């Protein structure tokens, strides 16, 4: 650590010069559907501010990430100050403040996953994709992130694909299959994990409308911890 | 203390749990569908209370109080008592209920099962709670990572609206209530009730100073009650079967069914529903025993913030607040993580510290900086660069963090470290260098190495 590292980082722009923009002005428009959606969000809360989180989610789904101009756009839509929306966007980890790959792989390594090989999966992914956590592959296809507890401790190790579906009970083979699927453009769907007591008493998953079903399994032995 | 009989008897307080029949997640196919839920007595409790006048609002609150239901979100506060803190209805002031489904505590994954497998029980509980406190709006806060489950819940809420169980004039009566599903975007702190309210209001989710408590000034400054998902799911059961039935399950002071989330080194992890007061050893047996026939060394009984127990301490303990307090931990969210003999407790504690460092909201200095220092010191010890003096430093740091912040995140970060060191000190010492601190004499006249402590915690050599 250098002595200067406690000083605020240099601003990414030079005052007076135009700021680098990622989304053109003409793209910053909501469709009719989205406008209705926003109106519905607003009606759910007593103040405009309440709809900020849902507005940011909508914007992230539309633009992929939240560069300053998109945050500004959300602020103008909801008629609240930019600084407020920026404050919210920077507080939460799931809002992407920088450009990510098409598929963001959030590998859970929090303690239940850690003791069941979460780091093995993370390191395996890093080896397979030739990047380390926090980085994006050259073609912009994959980003690997180390995630905090995703609330699927019983099916550890696991990961989440781009703030969406969970992939449970990971093994290296499953990671290979997942990467192949994603390269082919197939996003995994929702997968239901059967309760152990349901297996005993109902003979399987209780939801008949879910095809993708898995069960809780004995977690693998973690190589990094044993 | 001698007169108080010990609760650590090594005997189960859950009664005949082997013949326990599940009630929160009863074994019924497709219970998440509203028709199936109705066929099995769903929304009967709501009809009995709202339409047939089984209880008036105060009566319902008293019934819940009498059942001994305690919050399932971690703090274990009496739900009926919490409801009774709501001030009298003032027509000028809207009142809110927040259903807390943020569930971010590492080791906890129980609410997700309710969202997926029995959402209508929770919705019925929400409407009943709204009735008991005369509330017209409930915000159901679900963590952003559970987006798939948000869709499940939204679908269930829409079905309940269509059938007239939620919305204007519930079941044709004068009583109206709305449920708004809100989802977060990845912040552990939103599980804390006051930061959940800030998050709802569209602010950065910083916890607020209490008092004023949410019942006085909560969401948008209005009276608010916050309950966990599982807590609210218990309410229709209490109405249907009575407070006495509920109070008869499990030990006297901590009653009812609980969803135990079991993870870690066991053969069959998962969520299991049983009464409170289960022996930890019985839960291990249910979960198929230790993986690979290993010996279990430690157990975290209720999520990351509860102090880990050594197996000797856990063996006589049952899963209820009083017994676990005596055993030296707490009930938390009943998310148990079993650790076998090969687990490195230093790495484990370091990972917990990393979690809290990442999730500290940064509002209070003891927490923002303290969690960072905890992680740095633990990393140094874990990497073999620490000194035995660092253990004392860590404990001192814990003293400086506990009880000195707006919310309990700093306490939650300090406890596992403090009790991890106290209870597994041998392992920590084994990873430290023999010298007490950099440059200290080893006793044989030789100095280990020179080096100074720097602000980054990395010794310069």
Q: In what order do the strands lie in the sheet with B296-300?
A: B270-275, B257-264, B335-340, B296-300, B309-310
What is the per-residue pLDDT for A226? 60
Inter-chain touch A94–B144, beta carbons under 8 Å? yes
Q: Are residues B115 and B226 in the same domain?
A: yes
Q: Measure the CA–CA gap between B441 and B447, rounded to whole angstroms.
A: 5
CA distance A148 to chain B (A): 7
Instruction: Identify the weakest region by mean pLDDT among A144-148, A212-216, B203-207.
Output: A212-216
Q: Which tokens in the block code for residue B114? A: 């309710």
Inter-chain touch A221–B292, beta carbons under 8 Å? yes
Residue B441 counted as domain residue: no
**Is B205 at the interface with chain A, CB within 8 A?**
yes
What is the per-residue pLDDT for B98? 97
Contacts with A, B 23-42, CB within 8 Å: 25, 27-33
Q: Are residues B51 and B156 in the same domain?
A: yes
Residues of A in Cβ contact (< 8 Å) with B25: 195, 197-198
DSSP per position, B294-325 = PPEEEEESSSTTSPPEEHHHHTT-BSSHHHHH
User: Per-residue confidence of chain B (461 residues) as pLDDT tens digits?
Assistant: 556 789 999 999 999 999 999 999 999 999 999 999 999 999 999 999 999 999 999 999 999 999 999 999 988 999 999 999 999 999 999 999 999 999 999 999 999 999 999 999 999 999 999 999 999 999 999 999 999 999 999 999 999 999 999 999 999 999 999 999 999 999 999 999 999 999 999 999 999 999 999 999 999 999 999 999 999 999 999 999 999 999 999 999 999 999 999 999 999 999 999 999 999 999 999 999 999 999 999 999 999 999 999 999 999 999 999 999 999 999 999 999 999 999 999 999 999 999 999 999 999 999 999 999 999 999 999 999 999 999 999 999 999 999 999 999 999 999 999 999 999 999 999 999 887 777 776 666 555 554 444 444 444 43
CA distance B281 to chain A (A): 18
Residues of B in Cβ contact (< 8 Å) with A151: 103-104, 108-109, 112, 143, 145-146
Residue B158 counted as domain residue: yes
Residue A49 counted as domain residue: yes
Inter-chain touch A195–B112, beta carbons under 8 Å? no
Residues whose CB is less than 8 angstroms from the CB of residue B327 and which lie 6 or more positions away in sequence, other chains included: B8, B309, B313, B314, B316, B317
Residues of B in Cβ contact (< 8 Å) with A110: 106, 304, 351, 355
Is A54 a residue whose pLDDT tops 60? yes
Inter-CA distances, B190 with A45, B98, B185, B360, B450, Å: 18, 12, 9, 11, 45
Inter-CA distances, A99 with A165, A166, B274, Å: 20, 22, 46
Q: Are residues A71 and A149 in the same domain?
A: no
Residues of B in Cβ contact (< 8 Å) with A44: 180, 182
CA distance B180 to chain A (A): 7
Q: Are residues A128 and A176 in the same domain?
A: yes
Inter-chain touch B185–A46, beta carbons under 8 Å? no
Q: Are residues B383 and B273 in the same domain?
A: no
Q: Tell me which residue in A44, A111, A150 faces B337 most closely, judged by beta carbons.
A: A111
In B229-302, the DSSP E strands lie at 257-264, 270-275, 296-300
Q: Are residues A91 and A131 in the same domain?
A: no
Residues of A in Cβ contact (< 8 Å) with B262: 154
Q: Are residues A186 and A168 in the same domain?
A: yes
User: Mean pLDDT score of chain A, rounded to an integer?
Assistant: 91
Are the C-beta atoms of B117 and B25 separated by less than 8 Å? yes
Q: Are residues B241 and B289 in the same domain?
A: no
Q: How many domains does chain B have?
A: 3
Residue B332 counted as domain residue: yes
Q: Are residues B334 and B360 in the same domain?
A: no
Residue A8 counted as domain residue: no
Instruction: Give the chain A residue whose CA is nearest to the CA of B25.
Output: A198
Q: Are residues A49 and A143 in the same domain?
A: no
Q: Are residues B381 and B326 in the same domain?
A: no
What is the per-residue pLDDT for B454? 42
Among candidate residues A65, A99, A133, the one where a domain is terminated: A99
What is the per-residue pLDDT for A210? 85
Q: Are residues B107 and B168 in the same domain?
A: yes
Residue B2 counted as domain residue: no
Q: Up-side HSE of residue B163: CA atoms within 13 Å toward CB?
A: 19
What is the per-residue pLDDT for A12? 61
Q: Which tokens in the block code for residue A13? A: 């722009």
Inter-CA distances, B11 with B256, B260, B316, B334, Å: 18, 18, 7, 19
Q: Are residues B64 and B196 in the same domain?
A: yes
Q: Are residues B46 and B168 in the same domain?
A: yes
Residue A1 counted as domain residue: no
Residue B264 counted as domain residue: yes
Q: Are residues B32 and B112 in the same domain?
A: yes
Residue A16 counted as domain residue: no
Please state the φ and ψ torsions of residue B347, each to the nearest 5 degrees. Answer: -60, -40
Helical residues (DSSP H) of B85-118, grouped into ranges: 111-117
Q: How many domains does chain A have?
A: 2
Q: Are residues A123 and A182 in the same domain?
A: yes
ipTM score for this prediction: 0.92
Cβ atoms within 10 Å of A159's Cβ, excluding its own: 28
Instruction: Taking residues A43-68, report their average pLDDT.
Output: 95
Q: Are residues B221 and B326 in the same domain?
A: no
Residue A79 counted as domain residue: yes
Residue B327 counted as domain residue: yes
Beta strand pairing call for A166-167 and B96-101: unpaired
Among candidate residues B311, B340, B369, the one where a domain is terminated: B340
Residues of B in Cβ contact (< 8 Å) with A116: 263-265
Q: Measure the CA–CA gap between B435 and B431, rounded to whole angstroms.
A: 12
Residue A9 counted as domain residue: no
Residue B34 counted as domain residue: yes
Q: Are residues A38 and A67 in the same domain?
A: yes
Q: Are residues B38 and B106 in the same domain?
A: yes
**Is A133 at the interface with chain B, CB within 8 A?**
no
Residue A131 counted as domain residue: yes
Residue B447 counted as domain residue: no
Q: Measure the CA–CA gap between A169 and A152, rounded to whole angstroms.
A: 10
CATH number at residue B148: 3.40.50.11540
CATH number at residue B263: 3.10.20.600
Q: Are residues A86 and A140 in the same domain?
A: no
Residues of A in Cβ contact (< 8 Å) with B344: 225
Q: How confident is the model at residue A18 (pLDDT cuts 50, 70, 90)?
A: confident
Residues of B in Cβ contact (< 8 Å) with A165: 148
Q: Are residues A64 and A150 in the same domain?
A: no
Q: Are residues A107 and A202 in the same domain?
A: yes
CA distance B187 to chain A (A): 6
What is the per-residue pLDDT for A16? 77
In terms of residue numbers, what domain contains B50?
20-247
Residues whose CB is less than 8 angstroms from the CB of residue B166 and which lie 6 or more positions away in sequence, other chains included: B123, B127, B157, B160, B177, B178, B179
User: What angle, rounded to 10 degrees, do the helices at A52-63 and A68-78 form?
Assistant: 140
CA distance A17 to chain B (A): 31
Inter-chain touch B203–A49, beta carbons under 8 Å? yes
Beta strand pairing call for B257-264 and B270-275: antiparallel
**Is A206 at the interface with chain B, CB within 8 A?**
yes
Q: Measure the CA–CA gap between A126 and A113, rounded to whole angstroms.
A: 17
Among candidate residues A99, A120, A154, the one where a domain is terminated: A99
What is the per-residue pLDDT for B451? 45
What is the per-residue pLDDT for B74? 87
Residue A207 counted as domain residue: yes
Contacts with A, B 281-320, CB within 8 Å: 287-288, 291-292, 300, 304
Choose among B208, B216, B219, B226: nearest CA to B406: B208
CA distance A124 to chain B (A): 19
CA A123 to chain centre: 19
CATH number at residue A189: 3.40.30.10
Inter-chain touch A207–B32, beta carbons under 8 Å? yes
- Which carries the bigger pLDDT value, residue B103 or residue A211? B103
Among candidate residues A48, A64, A99, the one where a domain is terminated: A99
Q: Are residues A164 and A199 in the same domain?
A: yes
Residues of B in Cβ contact (< 8 Å) with A155: 269
Instruction: Taking residues A50-77, report their average pLDDT.
Output: 95
Choose among B411, B149, B184: nearest CA to B305: B411
Q: Tell me which residue in B148, B202, B267 faces A53 most closely, judged by beta carbons.
A: B202
Residues of B in Cβ contact (< 8 Å) with A122: none
Q: Are residues A108 and A210 in the same domain?
A: yes
CATH number at residue B380: 1.20.1440.230
* SS3 (DSSP) at A144: strand
In terms of residue numbers, what domain contains A179?
103-215
CATH number at residue A75: 1.10.10.1590
Is A204 a residue whose pLDDT tops 50? yes
What is the per-residue pLDDT for B442? 65
């Amino acid at each position: 650590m250098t002595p200067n590292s406690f000083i605020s980082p240099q601003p990414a722009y030079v005052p007076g010069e135009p700021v680098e923009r990622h989304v053109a002005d003409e793209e910053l428009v909501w469709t009719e559907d989205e406008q209705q959606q926003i109106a519905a969000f607003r009606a759910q809360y007593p103040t405009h501010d309440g709809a900020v989180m849902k507005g940011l989610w909508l914007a992230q789904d539309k633009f992929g990430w939240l560069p300053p101009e998109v945050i500004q756009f959300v602020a103008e839509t909801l008629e609240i100050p930019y600084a407020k929306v920026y404050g919210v966007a920077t507080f939460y980890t799931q809002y992407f403040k920088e450009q990510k790959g098409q598929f963001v792989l959030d590998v859970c390594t929090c303690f239940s996953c850690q003791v069941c090989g979460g780091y093995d999966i993370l390191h395996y992914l890093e080896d397979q994709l030739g990047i380390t956590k926090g980085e994006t592959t050259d073609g912009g296809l994959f980003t690997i992130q180390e995630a905090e507890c995703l609330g699927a401790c019983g099916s550890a190790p696991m990961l989440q694909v781009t703030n969406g579906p969970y992939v449970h009970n990971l093994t290296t083979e499953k990671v290979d299959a997942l990467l192949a699927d994603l390269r082919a453009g197939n996003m995994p769907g929702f997968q239901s994990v059967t309760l152990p007591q349901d297996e005993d008493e109902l003979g399987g998953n209780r939801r008949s409308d879910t095809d993708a079903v898995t069960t809780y399994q004995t977690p693998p032995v973690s190589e990094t911890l044993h | 203390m001698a007169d108080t009989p010990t609760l650590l008897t090594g005997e189960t307080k859950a009664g005949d749990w082997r013949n326990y029949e599940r009630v929160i997640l009863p074994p019924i196919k497709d219970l998440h569908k509203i028709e199936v839920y109705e066929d099995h007595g769903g929304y009967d409790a709501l009809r009995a209370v709202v339409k047939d006048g089984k209880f008036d609002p105060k009566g319902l609150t008293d019934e819940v109080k009498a059942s001994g239901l305690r919050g399932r979100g971690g703090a274990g506060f009496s739900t009926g008592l919490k409801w009774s803190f709501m001030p009298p209805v003032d027509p000028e002031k809207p009142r809110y209920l927040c259903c807390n489904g943020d569930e971010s505590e590492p080791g906890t994954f129980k609410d997700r099962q309710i969202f997926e497998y029995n959402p209508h029980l929770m919705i019925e509980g929400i409407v009943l709670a709204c009735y008991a406190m005369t509330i017209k709006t409930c915000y159901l806060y679900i963590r952003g990572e559970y987006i798939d489950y948000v869709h499940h819940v939204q679908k269930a809420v829409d079905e309940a609206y269509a059938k007239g169980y939620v919305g204007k004039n519930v079941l044709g009566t004068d009583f109206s209530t709305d449920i708004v599903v809100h989802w977060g975007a990845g912040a552990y702190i939103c599980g804390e009730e006051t930061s959940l309210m800030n998050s709802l209001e569209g602010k950065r989710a910083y916890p607020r100073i209490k008092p004023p408590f949410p019942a006085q000034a909560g969401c948008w400054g209005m009276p608010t009650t916050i309950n966990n998902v599982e807590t609210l799911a218990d309410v229709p059961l209490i109405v249907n079967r009575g407070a006495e039935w509920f109070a008869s399950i499990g030990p006297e002071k901590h009653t009812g069914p609980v969803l135990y989330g079991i993870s870690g080194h066991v053969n069959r992890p998962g969520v299991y529903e049983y009464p409170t007061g289960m022996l930890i050893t019985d839960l291990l047996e249910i979960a198929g025993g230790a993986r690979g026939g290993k010996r279990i060394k430690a157990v975290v009984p209720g999520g990351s913030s509860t102090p880990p127990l050594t197996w000797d301490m856990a063996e006589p303990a049952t899963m209820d607040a009083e017994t676990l307090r005596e055993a030296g931990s707490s009930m938390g969210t009943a998310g148990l993580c079993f650790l076998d003999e090969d687990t490195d407790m230093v790495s484990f504690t370091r990972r917990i510290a990393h979690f809290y460092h990442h999730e500290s909201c940064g509002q209070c200095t003891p927490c923002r900086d303290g969690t960072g220092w905890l992680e740095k010191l633990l990393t140094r010890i874990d990497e073999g660069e620490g000194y035995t003096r660092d253990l004392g430093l860590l404990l001192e740091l814990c003293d400086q963090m506990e009880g000195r912040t707006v919310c309990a995140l700093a306490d939650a970060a300090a406890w596992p470290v403090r009790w991890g060191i106290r209870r597994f000190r041998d392992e920590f010492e084994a990873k430290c260098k023999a010298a007490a601190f950099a440059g200290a004499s080893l006793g044989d006249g030789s100095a280990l190495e020179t080096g100074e402590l720097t602000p980054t915690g990395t010794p310069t050599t």
